[in-house]
Amino acid sequence: MGIQDLIDDFAFLEEWEERYRYVIELGKGLEPLSDEEHSPANKVEGCVSQVWLVNETRKDKAGKTVLHFRGDSDAHIVRGLIAILMRLYSDKAPAEIIETDARDVFAKLGLNEHLTPQRSNGLYSMVARIQADARAALGTATA
């Protein structure tokens, strides 16, 4: 399921409570992280909940380098937000990840107006980490 499918699903759900439950349901489908991957090195700073993100460099069917992301959190809603980020960024080329405007997608999903400021800050901390990983994969990481 791509991000447009997700936008369409959210548009179908009329009440925010239904969307909230859907976000939580999405989180249940995350690829698991090992105990070792729940490490300080993988922890995302700036999130109220505990969040871990890992990435692997892979080759797609055309032989192009892509980043595959996995993540986890101790909060159900945050796990769902991670699932949305995985759909947005995982298995994409680093340059495509950097160019993708997460705020635009979150606005289309209606997330911007329904998340607490702390959740929004955490969400954008995750986006910053993913984009930093993409810059590092390109060899253009900034200090």
Annotated catalytic residue within 44, 47, 83, 97: 47
Is residue 72 assigned to a domain?
yes
Contacts 24+ apart (CB under 8 A), 102-111: 102/127, 105/3, 105/7, 108/7, 108/10, 109/6, 109/7, 109/10, 109/19, 109/84, 110/10, 110/16, 110/19, 111/81, 111/84
Tell me if residue 47 is catalytic: yes
Q: Which long-range contacts (CB under 8 A, 24 or more apart) does 115-120 make?
A: 118/48, 119/48, 119/77, 119/78, 119/81
Single out the residue of 34, 43, 29, 114 nearest to residue 79, CA to CA.
29
pLDDT of residue 141: 46
Host domain of residue 110: 3-138
Query: pLDDT per residue over 79-100, tens digit each?
Result: 999 999 999 999 999 999 999 9
Which residue ranges of the chain lie beneath pLDDT 50? 141-143
pTM for the model: 0.91
- CA atoms of 49 and 20, how far apart (whole Å): 17
- Total domains in the chain come to 1
Q: How far apart are CA 101 and CA 12, in angstroms?
A: 23
State residue 10's pLDDT score. Answer: 87
Residue 132 resides in a domain: yes
Which CATH number fits the domain that encloses residue 29?
3.90.1010.10
Asked if residue 143 is part of any domain, the answer here is no
Residue 2, both tokens: 């791509």
Separation of alpha carbons 128 and 40, rounded Å? 17
Supply the pLDDT for residue 140: 56
